[in-house]
């Protein structure tokens, strides 16, 4: 295996070039199997774990953070070995809590961020969140309020870095400029949807990340499994009428051409999709969300693959991007 470590953008922390996403832990992967996957990820050299306060599916919001927390509680240096990222924005009150509009809505008020940070720390059984990410932008909340809140959490030792997710390029620029006015580090990372079927971030998000020194952490690198073939272990009934089926039908011709390229390379389609992302210098670590140990082991293969210029050109032809960065992509 060839896991390597790189800076998170231009910031000092070193993270593995694959990020272990935990969204399936609990809803689709048992706690026992989730523990085994996290243990194996560390053995393989993956030190970057991502979760969110809202993950848990039918088990309830916060259930995934609790699983990660119980894994940390086993000790053995687990927490010390992990660069831990979680998120805030969505309603994340646990079952039985009294409904409160400041916490049951989607926002980034100071009240909510502080409370939800404490709730995540409790569920994760840790004193510090390494990268605290805004799950979405809240354009109605003043940056004065937000950066003051994050500064307070940093001073208290509850968070180390601040990241964003699903931000537009101008949101990243605004956040970083507002932080700089206050003498703060600003954003260190951005999580965006990015894969061969969805390359919109190449217009403005990637240039903004590069300019402000953010590490890009692509989510849904396999386009919901479409770029990796049918998810193993799932019935046709489960996929019938699903987003997976709709995307597969929409991209059928492209997928056939893509899988022919992968066959020529002798690699799994999902592995090639991850390797393609890793060839972008702005990308720090795609988020992999394995449901099984086999999926984890397969994903790590992507770190060993070098795609030559011919293959990159073929992939670009099959899955064309927006034509470059703005404004050149559309203005001239």
What confidence tens digit (pLDDT) does each residue in 258-307 have?
999 999 999 999 999 999 999 999 999 999 999 999 999 999 999 999 99
Catalytic residue (choose from 5, 55, 89, 132): 55
Residues contacting 96, CB < 8 A, separation 6+: none
Q: Is 151 exposed, middle or buried (0-12, 13-18, 19+ CB in 10 A)?
A: middle
Which own/partner contact pairs does 289-293 have at CB distance under 8 Å and 24+ positions apart? 289/21, 289/22, 289/23, 289/24, 290/20, 290/24, 290/29, 290/37, 291/24, 291/28, 291/29, 291/231, 291/233, 292/29, 292/33, 292/37, 292/232, 292/233, 293/33, 293/36, 293/37, 293/40
Whether the CB-CB separation of 72 and 127 falls below 8 Å is answered with no
* Residue 73 dihedral angles phi and psi, to the nearest 5°: -65, -15
Q: Please report, for the domain that includes residue 23, its CATH number.
A: 3.20.20.100
Q: Give the 3-state secondary structure percentages of the chain, helix then strand then coil, rounded to 5.
A: 45, 15, 40
Whether the CB-CB separation of 163 and 136 falls below 8 Å is answered with no
What confidence tens digit (pLDDT) does each residue in 82-132 have?
999 999 999 876 665 666 777 778 999 999 999 999 999 999 999 999 999
Range of the domain at 67: 5-331
What confidence tens digit (pLDDT) does each residue in 196-254 have?
999 999 999 999 999 999 999 999 999 999 999 644 444 443 444 477 888 889 899 99
Among this protein's residues, is 258 annotated catalytic?
no
Q: Per the structure, how many domains does the chain have?
A: 1
The pLDDT value given to residue 155: 98
Residue 39 pLDDT > 80: yes
Q: Is-above-0.75 flag for pTM?
A: yes
- What's the CA gap between 166 and 254, in Å, rounded? 26
């Amino acid at each position: 295996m060839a896991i390597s470590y790189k800076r998170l953008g231009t910031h000092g922390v070193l993270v593995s070039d694959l990020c272990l996403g935990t969204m399936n832990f609990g809803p689709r992967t048992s706690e026992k199997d989730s523990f085994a996957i996290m243990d194996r990820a560390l053995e393989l050299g993956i030190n970057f774990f991502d979760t969110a306060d809202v993950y848990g599916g039918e088990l309830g919001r916060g259930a995934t953070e609790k699983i990660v927390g119980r894994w940390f509680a086993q000790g053995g240096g687990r927490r010390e070995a992990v660069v831990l990222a979680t998120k805030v924005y969505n309603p994340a009150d646990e079952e039985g809590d009294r409904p409160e509009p400041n916490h049951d809505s989607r926002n980034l008020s100071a009240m909510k961020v502080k409370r939800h940070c404490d709730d995540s720390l409790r569920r994760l059984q840790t004193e510090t969140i390494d990268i605290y990410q805004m799950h979405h932008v809240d354009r109605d909340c003043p940056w004065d309020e937000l950066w003051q809140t994050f500064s307070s959490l940093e001073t208290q030792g509850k968070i180390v870095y601040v990241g964003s997710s699903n931000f537009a390029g101008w949101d990243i620029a605004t956040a970083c400029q507002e932080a700089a006015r206050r003498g703060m580090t600003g954003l260190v990372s951005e999580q965006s949807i990015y894969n061969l079927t969805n390359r919109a971030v190449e217009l403005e998000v990637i240039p903004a990340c590069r300019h402000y020194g953010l590490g890009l952490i692509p989510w849904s690198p396999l386009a919901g499994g479409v770029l990796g073939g049918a998810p193993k272990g799932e019935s046709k009934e489960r996929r019938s009428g699903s987003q997976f089926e709709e995307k597969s039908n929409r991209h059928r011709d492209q997928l056939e051409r893509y899988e022919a390229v992968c066959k020529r390379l002798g690699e799994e389609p999902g592995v090639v999709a991850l390797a393609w992302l890793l060839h972008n210098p702005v990308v720090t670590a795609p988020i992999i969300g394995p449901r099984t140990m086999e999926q984890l082991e397969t994903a790590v293969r992507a770190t060993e693959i070098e795609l030559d210029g011919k293959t990159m050109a073929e992939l670009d032809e099959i899955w064309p991007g927006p034509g470059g960065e703005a404004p050149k992509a559309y203005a001239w």
